[in-house]
Structure formats: structure tokens, C-alpha cells
């Protein structure tokens, strides 16, 4: 083909830096074919992979956000429940303490009353026995006095 | 000055010609482009063989590239239309990037050709013009398929005075795209070759690193401009 600029080294009629020939269209066809091959082997699959991952990331982020919100809701719920339970247990404790106090006082009062009555009855018994003993002593002393009188009179 | 070091010969403008019918092909461009495309496809196939939700190894790299290209296309073309053009922009970027770096990193000189030498496919003007014309077709197609004949309103916006400039732009866009890429990559290869020819050790290294940097930047520029042109064509002006 036609050569526009021949350098000194290129002595043959052909050649040169600006030698345009059928290389040009064939190279263009080759690049177009390469475009289709690369599209099938590279751009489409890699693009799909990247976009799938982007989709995966955004959906998992949305899911994670949802789960986080749910967890926060549950946490608030549980905190409220915990607070309620604490209050209940507190009131149960107070009630139990009051109950124990009451039972203690009742038992104490009962025991005191019983001991009082027992003491009273034993005191009465002692009194009765003392009376009896005194009565017995009186009789004996009388008898002894009579005896002494008898003896003295008899002498 | 006749030096014959095995790794430091300079050949410019010589090609390995293949003939198909009465058509001439630059064989070395196709050989190196097949190697480059093969490497690219191998990485892609290996990396996408087992796609997992937790990316590992090559899949990570490929997803990073995909993300990078998507951001590039989305920024330039816009949210609505970028999906259709992502594979094209991405292929341009990857092909040019791998070609440029392949040209700099693969020791092509170890393979001897009867004529010409292997190098970056993008250092041949045919390749870059092919890519630039594809970009031109792409943005015309993008504009026409999205807006129909209203696409040509673009030529008289904001005022009809712009018409000649916009028409000239349609020619300068592929011209600047192709020559920018071609010139940068060829110049980089020549600089490294000349330095290696003069001082075979150490001295070419900084130029080589600079070349890697330039190569990456050129791939990015080409892809970004292609995306920008497409974005300009599909852009709906609200007025």
C-alpha cells in the first residue's frame, strides 16, 4: 500500500511509520469481537456478582436494622417487665415482713397469756396447799396444846 | 557507528508483511495483539471461573477493574446510558492498557521475526486509527440511537455559529485520539530503544518506568475521552 513517510532505515518501498493497510479494518473487527467476548466473560458476570453483592449488602443491612429495632423493642419491654417484677417482689417482701411481724406478735401474746394463766393457777394451788398445810398445822398444834394441857393437868 | 548488540537494535517503520489476496497486513501487530489479548482473556477466564460472594485473589482484581471502569464510564456518560457502553469503554481501556504494558514489559526481542519487530500493538498507527474510528462510530451510533435525528441539534447548540467547528471536531476527535496514543507509545519505545542502544545498562531504567506511567495514563486518557465523546452525544440538553 501507499506509504507516506519513509525513514532512512526503511529502504524497501514498503513500510514506514504511517503505513496504512488492511491491518486497520481487521484490527477494528478484532477489537469489536474482543468487546463482545469481554462482555460475555468479564463485564456481565463481574457486574452481576458486584451488583448481587450490593443487593445482598443492602438487604442484609435493612434486615439488621429491623432486627436491631426489634431487639431494642424487646429490651424496653423486658426492662419494663423487670421493673414490674421488682416492684412486685418488693411488695411481696414487705407483706411477708408484716405477716411475720403479726404472727410473731400473736404468738408472743398467746404465750404471755398462757404463762400468765399458768402462773396464776399455780399460785392459787400454792395458796390452797398453804391453807391446807396451815389448817393441818393448826389442828396438830391444837392437839399438841391439848396434850400438853392434859399432861400438865394430870401431874 | 555500527554496533551489533543482540538486544539493542533499532528498527523503525519496518513491518512483517502478510499477504491475504492483495491485502497487506502487519503481521507483527497481529502476533503481539494476539499474545496481549490471550493474556487478557486468560486473566479474565481464570478470575471469573469461580465467582464467590467473598472475592478472593484474581476475582478481587477483576472486580476492582470493573468498579474502576464503571466509575469512569458513569462519570463521563451519565447514569442513564453508561450501562450500554461500559463493555466498549472497558475493552478499550483494558486492550490499550495491556497492549502498552505488554509492549514495555514482555521481552519481545527474544522472538526474532524475518522482518520488523514485535512491540506494543498500540505503537502501530493502524491499531490506534482503528480504535479511534471505532470511538467515532460509537458516539455517532450512541447519539443517533438515543435521540434519532435530534442528535444533529448538537451541532447547532448553543448557536448555529458552532456548526463548522462541531463538524471539524468530528474529524479532529479521531485524529487526536489516534495520534496521541500512537505518538506516546511509539516515542516511549523509541526513547527506551535509543537509550538501550547507547547505554545498555541501568540508564534506560528511569525511561522505562516513565514509559510504564505514560502507558497507563494513555490508556486512561483514551478510555476517558471515548466515554466523554459518547456522553456528549447522548447528553440531553434541557433548555
Is A141 among the domain residues? no
Is A78 among the domain residues? yes
* Residue B77 belongs to domain spanning: 17-234
* Cα-based distances in Å from B104 to B11, B100, B115, B131, B224: 16, 6, 20, 20, 22
Question: What is the Cα–Cα distance from B42 to B21, expressed in whole angstroms?
Answer: 32
Cβ distance A23 to B26 less than 8 Å, yes or no, reads yes
* Residue A35 belongs to domain spanning: 1-124
pLDDT at residue B115 in the model? 79
- Residues of chain A neighbouring B44 (CB-CB closer than 8 A): 38, 41-42
Is B75 among the domain residues? yes
Give chain A's domain count: 1
Residue B13 pLDDT class (50, 70, 90 cuts): confident
ipTM > 0.85, yes or no: yes
- Residues of chain B neighbouring A45 (CB-CB closer than 8 A): 48, 51
pLDDT tens digit sequence for B172-211: 999 999 999 999 999 998 888 888 888 888 888 898 899 9
Is B12 among the domain residues? no
pTM of the model: 0.75
Is A111 among the domain residues? yes
Give chain B's domain count: 1
Is A153 among the domain residues? no
* Cα-based distances in Å from B192 to A152, B195, B198: 173, 5, 10
- Each of the 155 residues of chain A gets a pLDDT tens digit; together they read 444 433 333 444 367 778 888 889 999 999 999 999 999 999 999 999 888 998 999 999 999 999 999 999 999 999 999 999 999 999 999 999 999 999 999 999 999 999 999 999 999 999 999 999 999 899 999 999 999 998 888 87
Is A147 among the domain residues? no
Cβ distance A46 to B51 less than 8 Å, yes or no, reads yes
B230: nearest Cα among B131, B128, B143, B130: B143
Cβ distance B13 to A53 less than 8 Å, yes or no, reads no
Is A81 among the domain residues? yes
Amino acid at each position: 500500500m501507499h506509504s507516506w513517510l519513509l525513514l532512512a532505515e526503511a529502504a524497501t518501498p514498503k513500510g514506514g511509520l504511517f503505513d496504512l493497510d488492511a491491518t486497520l479494518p481487521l484490527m477494528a473487527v478484532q477489537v469489536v469481537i474482543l468487546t463482545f467476548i469481554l462482555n460475555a466473560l468479564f463485564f456481565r458476570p463481574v457486574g452481576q456478582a458486584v451488583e448481587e453483592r450490593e443487593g445482598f449488602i443492602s438487604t442484609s443491612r435493612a434486615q439488621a436494622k429491623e432486627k436491631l429495632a426489634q431487639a431494642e423493642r424487646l429490651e424496653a419491654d423486658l426492662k419494663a417487665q423487670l421493673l414490674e417484677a421488682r416492684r412486685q417482689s418488693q411488695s411481696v417482701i414487705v407483706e411477708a415482713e408484716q405477716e411475720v411481724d403479726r404472727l410473731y406478735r400473736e404468738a408472743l401474746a398467746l404465750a404471755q397469756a398462757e404463762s400468765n394463766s399458768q402462773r396464776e393457777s399455780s399460785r392459787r394451788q400454792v395458796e390452797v396447799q398453804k391453807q391446807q398445810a396451815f389448817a393441818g398445822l393448826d389442828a396438830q398444834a391444837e392437839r399438841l396444846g391439848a396434850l400438853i394441857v392434859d399432861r400438865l393437868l394430870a401431874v | 557507528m555500527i554496533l551489533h548488540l543482540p538486544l539493542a537494535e533499532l528498527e523503525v517503520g519496518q513491518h512483517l508483511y502478510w499477504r491475504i489476496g492483495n491485502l497487506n497486513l502487519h503481521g507483527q501487530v497481529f502476533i503481539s495483539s494476539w499474545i496481549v489479548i490471550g493474556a487478557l482473556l486468560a486473566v479474565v477466564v481464570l478470575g471469573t471461573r469461580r465467582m464467590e460472594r467473598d472475592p478472593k485473589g484474581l476475582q478481587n482484581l477483576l472486580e476492582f477493574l470493573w468498579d474502576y471502569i464503571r466509575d469512569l464510564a458513569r462519570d463521563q456518560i451519565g447514569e442513564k446510558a453508561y450501562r450500554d457502553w461500559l463493555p466498549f469503554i472497558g475493552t478499550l481501556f483494558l486492550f490499550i492498557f495491556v497492549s502498552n504494558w505488554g509492549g514495555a514489559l514482555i521481552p519481545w526481542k527474544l522472538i526474532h521475526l524475518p522482518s520488523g519487530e514485535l512491540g506494543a500493538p498500540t505503537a502501530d498507527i493502524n491499531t490506534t486509527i482503528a480504535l479511534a474510528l471505532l470511538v467515532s462510530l460509537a458516539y455517532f451510533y450512541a447519539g443517533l440511537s438515543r435521540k434519532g435525528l435530534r442528535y444533529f441539534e448538537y451541532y447547532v447548540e448553543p448557536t448555529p455559529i458552532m456548526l463548522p467547528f462541531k463538524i471539524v471536531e468530528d474529524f479532529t476527535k479521531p485524529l487526536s485520539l489516534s495520534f496521541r496514543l500512537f505518538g506516546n507509545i511509539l516515542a516511549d519505545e523509541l526513547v527506551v530503544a535509543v537509550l538501550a542502544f547507547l547505554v545498555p545498562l541501568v540508564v534506560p531504567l528511569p525511561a522505562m518506568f516513565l514509559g510504564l506511567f505514560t502507558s497507563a495514563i494513555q490508556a486512561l486518557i483514551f478510555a476517558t475521552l471515548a466515554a466523554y465523546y459518547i456522553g456528549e452525544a447522548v447528553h440531553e440538553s434541557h433548555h
